[in-house]
Structure 1
Amino acid sequence: MNFETAHHAFINKHLELRSSERRGRLERGHGHGEKLFLQKVWWPLYRNFEYLHPEYEIIDWRKRPYFSDFAYLPGSLKFIIEIKGYGPHVRDMDRQKYCNELNREIYIQTLGYRIISFAYDDVSEQPELCQYLLQTLLNRYQAQKQPVQRTVMAESEIIRYILSSPHQSVSPKEISLHFQINHRTSVKMLKSLCHKGWLQPIHSGSGQRIHRYALVAGSVGYFA
């Protein structure tokens, strides 16, 4: 099934489930920016719209309805996704409207939702960046579908540790101390990551001895 067919079925399904203002809001509110997000960001990642709800209604603390662009509700997890354009709504916003906007976001999070906001310009011009950021975030909350070997999990933790270091590099001694493993094991794991293309060795001044290991540019998406 291609995107246009899947998108048409997705919207029609939700229209059939709604009536009155909730139906009207979906007909009026699901516009170009929302469809572009689905086409350029969501569909390339997941190839379905399962657990996704367009123009999702939430009642705020003032008992007023608020319609988010999307809600993603897989199981007990709750995410709100917003596509924000830099238009008159933002440029002409006064202080009270700005306060209300922030207060609403905080209130929505008190209800157990995690808010994910994307700029329309990024969705349009940098969809790959949006894909990476979205997948990185959701992967931290959702269990992987396939069993994960302990070695892979350990390697992922090493990558995350290196990402948090000032120079994004590490020595075998640092790994040994941080993860409480022996030196031989730390060297073995670091060499394994080099073999897989995630790390590269940094040699000492003489060029004979490996001093540290650094991340290879562009390799960290695998561990998100």
Structure 2
Amino acid sequence: MTFEEAHAVFILHHVERRTGERKGRLVRGHNEAERLFCRNVWWPVRGSFDDLHPEYEVRDWRGMSYFCDFVWLTQPVKLVIEIKGFGPHVRDMDRQKYCSELNRETFLTAMGYQVISFAYDDVSQRPEVCTTLLRMVLSRYQAEPGPTERLAVLEKEVIRLACRLSRPLRTVDVREHLLINHRTAVRVLQALCGKGWLVPKEGPTAKYIVGYELQRGAWRSL
């Protein structure tokens, strides 16, 4: 099934199951930005629209309806995805709207949702950035890997750790972060060096490796 076919079925499925304002909001609200996200970001990553809900209604702490651009609902994940244009979300936003948006995102977090946002400019012009970041988020919720996949999962987690640190990665960092033994930590680091994602950093005497530096762009492999 092509994207156009799958997207049409996806929207029709939700339209037919809604009434009133929930239906009207979907018909009116699923516009260019949301369609581009489906085409450029979600479809390349997932290849289907299973468990994705467009214009999803959530009641806030005041009992008022708020419609999220998308919510991905699985057990036990509740992921809110927002597409934000510079105009309505930055240039044209006053202090009250700014406060309301932050309060709403905090409330959603308190209700068990994870909220992520993508800039419209990235969705339309630099979708590869969005697909990489989306894969990183969704990979946190993948099923428990089998023995043959465990090393690849550990490698990705080490790259994430290296991205967060502002210094060369050490074996002890990997060991403590992943709760694995020294031998496994070394194995993962060596595998990442072999794939060109990490570069070993030698000490002053060049006899020992004292750390590992992340290659530029390695995070795009996630």
Classify the TM-score, shorter chain: 0.7 to 0.9
Instruction: Map Cα deviations across residues 98-125 of structure 1 (whole Å, 9 max, x no partner).
Output: 2222212211222111111111011111
Measure how far apart 1:29 and its partner are. 0.4
Describe the SS at the equivalent of 1:87.
helix
Q: 5+ unaligned residues in a row in structure 1: which ranges? A: none
Quick check: 1:44 aligned with 2:56?
no
Q: 5+ unaligned residues in a row in structure 2: which ranges? A: none
Measure how far apart 1:61 and its partner are. 1.6
Describe the SS at the equivalent of 1:130.
helix
Q: 1:45 & 1:180 partners in 2: Cα distance?
A: 30
Match of 1:6 in 2: 6
Quick check: 1:76 aligned with 2:71?
no
Measure how far apart 1:130 and its partner are. 0.7
TM-score (normalizing by structure 1): 0.82
Change (3 A) 1:98 1:176: closer
Q: Highest Rg: 1 or 2?
A: 1
% same residue: 48
Q: Which moved more, 1:67-76 or 1:149-158?
A: 149-158
Change (3 A) 1:38 1:147: farther
Q: 2:175 & 2:64 partners in 1: Cα distance?
A: 55
How many residues of Structure 1 are paired with residues of Structure 2 in the alignment? Answer: 221
Q: Which moved more, 1:193-202 or 1:104-113?
A: 193-202
Q: Which moved more, 1:161-170 or 1:11-20?
A: 161-170
Describe the SS at the equivalent of 2:212.
strand
Q: What amino acid is aligned across from residue 68 of structure 1 in structure 2?
A: C
Match of 1:64 in 2: 64
TM-score (normalizing by structure 2): 0.83
Measure how far apart 1:27 and its partner are. 0.5
Q: Which moved more, 1:86-95 or 1:41-50?
A: 86-95
Measure how far apart 1:22 and its partner are. 1.0
Contact 1:136/1:221 (<8 A) preserved: no
Change (3 A) 1:210 1:34: same
Measure how far apart 1:201 and its partner are. 3.1
Q: Which moved more, 1:172-181 or 1:35-44?
A: 172-181
Change (3 A) 1:207 1:107: closer
